[in-house]
């Protein structure tokens, strides 16, 4: 006896595949109500645009980083899946890195724009669908960022199997600086530092004004409790603000691999060694699931 095809089944298949309602109904009839088989029917018909596998959570995944060969373009991308088994699979991680490469080269406006871009001999959307079928799990591009520079290069670091990803932009004046092993090691180490310490901003001047105002209001209130003259209270508050900068701003933080120098001082040391002026410009840090 044939399985009754209900409106709810058609709706579920439509949500999973973005396919037309009548085609979904036909596929379900042919598959005798089996949703997974109906997906294959739609794929063979060429009408399944994507398989969302509705109802399955995507709480695992990876953050991938990409830097172009010349170091001038970079991207971070967060790709989710259903299980840690897939999230740590080298092929899944490799696919995420390829997606980050597409982002770096094209700087799409959003996820939909990314999906429409060419990849391999098809589109990102089709490649994503293929990976969904290959692994048998739902996958989603959660977010990404693309960066480029004319007078510098990028460093990157991926921590804990893709749970944290960082790209850092540096500026310098000599083109050969970016190709030197000393710079590449320095750039990698600064990105590692960002992953470990999670600073607020790269430079003091980049700390949001509202953050400074909020911190100062707290420090002034604390200083007022001392009962000391206002002039001294102001110095106390300013002193605590300075401590905040040293703890929160990348270039002023103690370098995680050598606390005897700050990241800014390390940049100066490498600059002197390479005969250039290297500056930390900004960074992006993705922590999976944040």
pTM, full prediction = 0.79
**Phi, psi dihedrals of residue 54, rounded to the nearest 5°:** -55, 140
Report the 10 Å Cβ neighbour count for 229.
9
Between CA 165 and CA 178 the distance in angstroms is 21
Looking at residue 58, its pLDDT comes to: 63
Find the Cα–Cα–Cα–Cα dihedral 221, 223, 224, 228, rounded to 10°: -170
Looking at residue 198, its pLDDT comes to: 97
User: Mean of the pLDDT values across residues 213-231?
Assistant: 89
Looking at residue 41, its pLDDT comes to: 85
pLDDT at residue 54 above 50?
A: no
pLDDT at residue 55 above 90?
A: no
123-137, 171-185, 262-276, range with the lowest pLDDT: 123-137
The CATH code that applies to domain 208-248 is 1.10.286.20
Which of the two residues, 117 and 224, has the higher pLDDT score?
117
Between CA 237 and CA 210 the distance in angstroms is 16
The CATH code that applies to domain 7-45 is 1.10.8.10
User: Mean of the pLDDT values across residues 86-97?
Assistant: 96
Looking at residue 19, its pLDDT comes to: 82
Query: In the structure, what pLDDT confidence band is assigned to residue 44 with cuts at 50, 70 and 90?
Result: confident
28-42, 90-104, 105-119, 207-221, range with the lowest pLDDT: 28-42
pLDDT at residue 27 above 80?
A: yes
Query: In the structure, what pLDDT confidence band is assigned to residue 36 with cuts at 50, 70 and 90?
Result: confident
288: left (phi over 0), alpha (psi -120 to 50) or beta: beta
| Domain boundaries defined on the chain | 7-45, 57-148, 208-248
CATH top-level class of 57-148 = alpha beta
Residues 98-139 pLDDT 10s: 999 999 999 999 999 999 999 988 999 999 999 998 998 999
Which of the two residues, 105 and 57, has the higher pLDDT score?
105
Looking at residue 51, its pLDDT comes to: 56
Between CA 129 and CA 152 the distance in angstroms is 36
């Amino acid at each position: 006896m044939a399985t009754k095809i209900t409106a709810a089944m058609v709706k579920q298949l439509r949500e999973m595949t973005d396919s037309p309602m009548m085609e979904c109904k036909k596929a379900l009839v042919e598959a005798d109500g089996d949703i997974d088989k109906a997906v294959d029917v739609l794929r063979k018909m060429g009408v399944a645009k994507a398989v969302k596998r509705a109802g399955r959570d995507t709480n695992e995944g990876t953050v991938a980083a990409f830097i172009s060969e010349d170091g001038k373009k970079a991207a971070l991308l967060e790709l989710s899946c259903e299980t840690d088994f897939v999230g740590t699979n080298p092929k899944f991680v490799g696919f995420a890195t390829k997606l980050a490469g597409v982002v770096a080269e094209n700087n799409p406006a959003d996820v939909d724009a990314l999906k429409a871009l060419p990849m391999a001999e098809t589109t990102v959307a089709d490649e994503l669908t293929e990976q969904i079928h290959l692994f048998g799990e739902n996958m989603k591009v959660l977010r990404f960022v693309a960066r480029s520079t004319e007078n510098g290069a990028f460093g990157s670091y991926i921590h804990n199997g893709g749970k944290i990803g960082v790209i850092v932009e540096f500026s310098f004046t000599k083109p050969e600086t970016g190709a030197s092993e000393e710079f590449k090691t320095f750039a990698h180490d600064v990105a590692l530092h960002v992953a470990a310490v999670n600073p607020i901003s790269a430079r003091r001047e980049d700390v949001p004004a509202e953050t400074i105002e909020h911190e100062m209001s707290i420090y002034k209130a604390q200083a007022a409790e001392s009962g000391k003259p206002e002039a001294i209270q102001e110095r106390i508050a300013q002193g605590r603000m300075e401590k905040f900068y040293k703890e929160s701003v990348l270039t002023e933080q103690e370098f995680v691999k050598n606390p005897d120098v700050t990241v800014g001082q390390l940049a100066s040391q490498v600059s002197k060694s390479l005969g250039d002026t290297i500056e930390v410009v900004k960074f992006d840090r993705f922590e999976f699931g944040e």
